[in-house]
Amino acid sequence: MKIVHVVECFAGGVFSFLYNLANELDNEEYIVIYGTNRNNTPSSFRDKFPPNTKFIPWKNAGRSLNPLKDIKALWELYTILRKIDNIDIIHLHSSKAGFLGRIVSFLLGKSKKTIYTPHAISFLRLDVSSKKRKIFIWMEKFASFFGGKIVACSKSEKEAIEEQGIKNVTFINNGIKPLEIEKKVNTSDKIIIISVGRLSIQKNPKLFNDIALEFIDNPNIQFIWCGDGELKSELISPNIKCTGWIERRTLENYLANADIYLSTSLWEGLPLSVLEAMSIGLPVVLSDCVGNKDLIENKDFLYQDKKNAVKIINYYIKNKRLLAEQSLKSKEVFNKNFKLENMADLYYQLYRSLYV
């Protein structure tokens, strides 16, 4: 099959999703049309994809709403796709590509071959005004009239989309390869609580900091944030270590030496960083938001506010046996629902069902 991936944000979790899926289904022919206006796209991105992958820059694509630029991006995408012969599948990623791409695929008569994966759909964002979220909802509804199948990253994201009256939605859980490193056995009294990601409003570092402050008098509890970003200044509690962006091997060592993974996210699609932690057996304490809620079978470990999060962490600290039990549970849930080969197989089946 000739599969065309269209993505504006060629970085972060979406980038990881794309190259993992392509490498797992490496017998197919790929063309990646990617936005060039993000400064965090890996410089060696071509090396991460199968050799049979071609790349076409999408120069006018940008994240923010800009009618003039978006019209230029629409026309550029139309021009690019029109020149590609024998397309079997068009797979659109994230909201901007999903909106413009569905219009273009309709104009080209390829709606029945089009899939749209939102990767945390735009109207879940809490870093914009309610008025802007309403605009995002309208845009998603409008684009859905042009056809294409919406494939959410999690069951809760699917449900959030359907709540807006949008139809033809299914979901395929995100999946990753399990980390090859082993989780270290903790024989000391110290507890390390870790989080990974960009220090942005979505990840809610202020809440992470406020939770850490509740343990300031306990020298055996340390908090670590692996990542960097515009809200780094919100991590001011002295029991937090912020590593900044670090090499992959170093990051995995931090995870292997941690005891609990704490997510303070306000919204997600289905977070890959939490999946990595679960793959080596880290117990997880997660904010009760879209995406996170799909990762825990025992909802007692989802929290609604700071007080609830502190209560769960204290419960873990006082019950070391529970840490061991939940470590095994994390691995079990991961292996059952979130392995890369499972995700890739479901996408392959979907691709084949649209292949005519």
Task: Please say whether the beta carbons of 90 and 6 come within 8 A.
Answer: yes
Task: Please say whether the beta carbons of 326 and 301 come within 8 A.
Answer: yes
Tell me how many domains the chain contains.
2
Backbone angles phi, psi at 327, to 5 degrees: -65, -45
Q: In angstroms, how far is the first alpha carbon of the chain from the final one?
A: 10
Q: State the Cα–Cα distance between residues 210 and 36, nearest whole angstrom.
A: 37
Residues 240 and 328 in one domain: yes
In a domain, 97, yes or no: yes
In a domain, 182, yes or no: no
Q: State the Cα–Cα distance between residues 212 and 236, nearest whole angstrom.
A: 10
Residues 120 and 197 in one domain: no
By DSSP bridging, strand 191-196 and strand 221-226 are: parallel
Task: Please say whether the beta carbons of 263 and 285 come within 8 A.
Answer: yes
Residues 123 and 246 in one domain: no
Residues 226 and 327 in one domain: yes
Residues 53 and 108 in one domain: yes
**Under DSSP, is residue 220 helix (H, G, I), strand (E, B) or coil?**
coil
For 57, the domain range is: 2-175+340-354
Residues 121 and 260 in one domain: no
Q: What is the DSSP letter of 201?
A: T
Residues 165 and 205 in one domain: no
Q: What is the CATH number of the domain that holds 25?
A: 3.40.50.2000
Q: Which of 274, 245, 243, 246 is nearest to 260 (CA)?
A: 274
Residues 265 and 132 in one domain: no
pLDDT of residue 356: 65
Q: State the Cα–Cα distance between residues 295 and 238, nearest whole angstrom.
A: 30
Q: State the Cα–Cα distance between residues 156 and 114, nearest whole angstrom.
A: 22
**pLDDT digit of tens for each residue in the chain (356 aa)?**
999 999 998 888 899 999 999 999 999 999 999 998 777 788 788 999 999 899 999 999 877 778 889 999 999 999 999 999 999 999 999 999 999 999 999 999 999 999 999 998 888 887 878 898 899 999 999 999 999 999 999 999 999 999 999 988 999 999 999 999 989 888 888 999 999 999 999 999 999 999 999 999 999 999 999 999 999 999 999 999 999 999 989 999 999 999 999 999 999 989 999 999 999 999 999 999 999 999 988 887 899 999 999 999 999 998 888 899 999 999 999 999 999 999 999 999 999 999 76
Q: Which of 310, 306, 302 is nearest to 284 (CA)?
A: 302
Residues 349 and 293 in one domain: no
Q: What is the DSSP letter of 186?
A: -
Contacts of 230 (CB under 8 A, 6+ apart): 199, 200
In a domain, 184, yes or no: no
